[in-house]
């Protein structure tokens, strides 16, 4: 049964398949420690739905037997969890100090200019979302970017950024 959440986003309760995936993650921890699987379960939700809605956070909290605020704390702390729908390609650009010193902010501005979006924005066609990111752990390779929370791209000059965007645009 589909519910409408307070922010008017349709929420479909977790399927039996999704709950089985959750159960496999919970089983990895000692009895009574289901909350330890919260990050893995949030990743499952995001993989299946593309983002984690507030209603999904609430339902996961109930499933894991934890306070909803404890789930919110995880999704708001880590930028790998999308709290709103994002484009097919989410590009996180590191602007922490080492990347900043090697043009991380300029790389972010270049991407936004090329795509016609602001930081945090999604292109009108739904293909790209551009986000500013804290340290991605590759300071020696700066400026660095992370595509869809999975692929690290290093030494990003404007030419390399243009090539990346063209390659991703063709992957429709």
Q: Over the chain (172 residues), what is each successive 10-residue block's mean pLDDT?
A: 52 93 98 96 93 96 97 91 92 91 93 96 95 89 91 94 95 76
Res 136: pLDDT: 87
pLDDT at residue 15, rounded to an integer = 94
What is the reported pLDDT for 8? Answer: 65
Domains and CATH numbers, the chain: 3-77 (1.10.10.1590), 89-170 (3.40.30.10)
What's the pLDDT score for residue 5?
Answer: 47
Q: Token digits for 139?
A: 């300071």
Long-range CB contact pairs, 111-115, < 8 A, 24+: 111/161, 111/165, 114/161, 114/162, 114/165, 115/165
| Tally of helices (H runs) and strands (E runs) in the chain | 7, 6
Q: Quote the CA–CA distance of 137 and 135 in Å, as a whole number.
A: 5
């Amino acid at each position: 049964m589909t519910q409408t959440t307070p922010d008017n986003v349709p929420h479909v309760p977790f399927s039996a398949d999704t709950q089985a995936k959750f159960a496999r993650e919970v089983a990895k921890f000692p009895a009574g420690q289901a909350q330890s699987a919260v990050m893995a379960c949030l990743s499952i939700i995001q993989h299946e739905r593309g983002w984690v809605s507030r209603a999904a956070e609430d339902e996961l909290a109930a499933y894991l037997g934890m306070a909803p605020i404890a789930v919110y704390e995880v999704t708001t702390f880590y930028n790998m969890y999308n709290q709103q729908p994002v484009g097919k390609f989410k590009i996180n650009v590191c602007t922490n100090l080492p990347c900043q010193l090697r043009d991380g902010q300029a790389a972010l501005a270049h991407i936004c200019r090329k795509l016609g979006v602001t930081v945090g924005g999604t292109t009108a066609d739904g293909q790209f979302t551009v986000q500013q990111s804290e340290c991605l752990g590759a300071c020696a390779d700066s400026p660095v970017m992370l595509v869809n929370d999975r692929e690290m791209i290093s030494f990003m000059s404007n030419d390399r950024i243009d090539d990346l965007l063209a390659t991703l645009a063709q992957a429709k």
